[in-house]
Amino acid sequence: MTGYPCDGDVGGTPHTFPGFVDGPFYVRDAGVVVLDDAYETSPYGTLPAANALDSLKPRRSTSFTSVGYGLQKSFPDAAAWKNVADKTRMVAYPQLLQINTGFTGPQSLLLSNNTNTGGTCFGDSGGPNFLGDSNVVAGITSFGLNSTCAGTGGVFRTDRPDVRNWILSFLD
């Protein structure tokens, strides 16, 4: 594998969630990379129990820890000259805005993206969204709703049984 932040010294095989190509990406937006060589670290992230996120309520106290290497800000074309593409691992603490609504469906969450809580931006896709300050990977950064990375960010849930079972099938 190559590309930021990898220096090309790691190899692996990518796998996409079944049906990803055939449907809207945000409905089946998960992937797994099986590394060629084992990598030992502690602690590893864990998956939530099946359907565990259904009990969450949108409010300020329902927060996440989003991690990514994407842009820090995005500007309209007139200000596109600003350099915000520094590739630095960043952490944000967005809050839950929507879950199980007509817009999110059963597969996504909408989290806040703003200057107060932070959030995700272009290039953060595929990064983990931990539940609160735990090591539970509640979802995967999937999409944004506007060109300036403000307002909301979409997260693909990892607690749905089909997604969870598929991810677990790669672990031993």
Average pLDDT per consecutive 10 residues, the chain (172 residues; last block may be shorter): 55 88 78 87 90 91 79 52 52 89 92 74 78 94 75 89 95 77
Residues 20 and 62 in one domain: no
CA angle 90, 115, 144 (to 5 degrees): 70
CA distance 53 to 109: 9
The answer to the question of residue 3 being in a domain is no
Residues 35 and 79 in one domain: no
Residues 36 and 60 in one domain: no
The pLDDT of residue 56? 94
Stated as kind and residue range, the H or E segment containing 142 is strand 137-144
Question: Is the CB of residue 26 less than 8 Å from the CB of residue 142?
Answer: yes
Residues 19 and 69 in one domain: no
The pLDDT of residue 2? 45
The pLDDT of residue 15? 92
The pLDDT of residue 72? 52
**Burial of 127 from C-beta contacts in 10 A (0-12 / 13-18 / 19+):** buried
Residues 80 and 24 in one domain: no
The answer to the question of residue 141 being in a domain is yes
Question: Is the CB of residue 88 less than 8 Å from the CB of residue 108?
Answer: no
Q: What is the CATH number of the domain that holds 153?
A: 2.40.10.10
In three-state secondary structure terms, 1 is: coil
The answer to the question of residue 7 being in a domain is no
Residues 103 and 20 in one domain: no
The answer to the question of residue 89 being in a domain is yes
Residues 118 and 139 in one domain: yes
The pLDDT of residue 67? 83
Residue 12, CA distances (Å) to 32, 85, 136 in order:
10, 26, 23
In three-state secondary structure terms, 162 is: helix
The answer to the question of residue 105 being in a domain is yes
Residues 58 and 26 in one domain: no
Number of domains in the chain: 2
The answer to the question of residue 4 being in a domain is no
- Residue span of the structural domain in which 94 resides: 52-157
Residues 63 and 122 in one domain: yes
The answer to the question of residue 144 being in a domain is yes
The answer to the question of residue 92 being in a domain is yes
CA-closest candidate to residue 111, choices 59, 74, 158, 162: 59
Residues 31 and 104 in one domain: no
Residues 111 and 140 in one domain: yes
Residues 21 and 56 in one domain: no
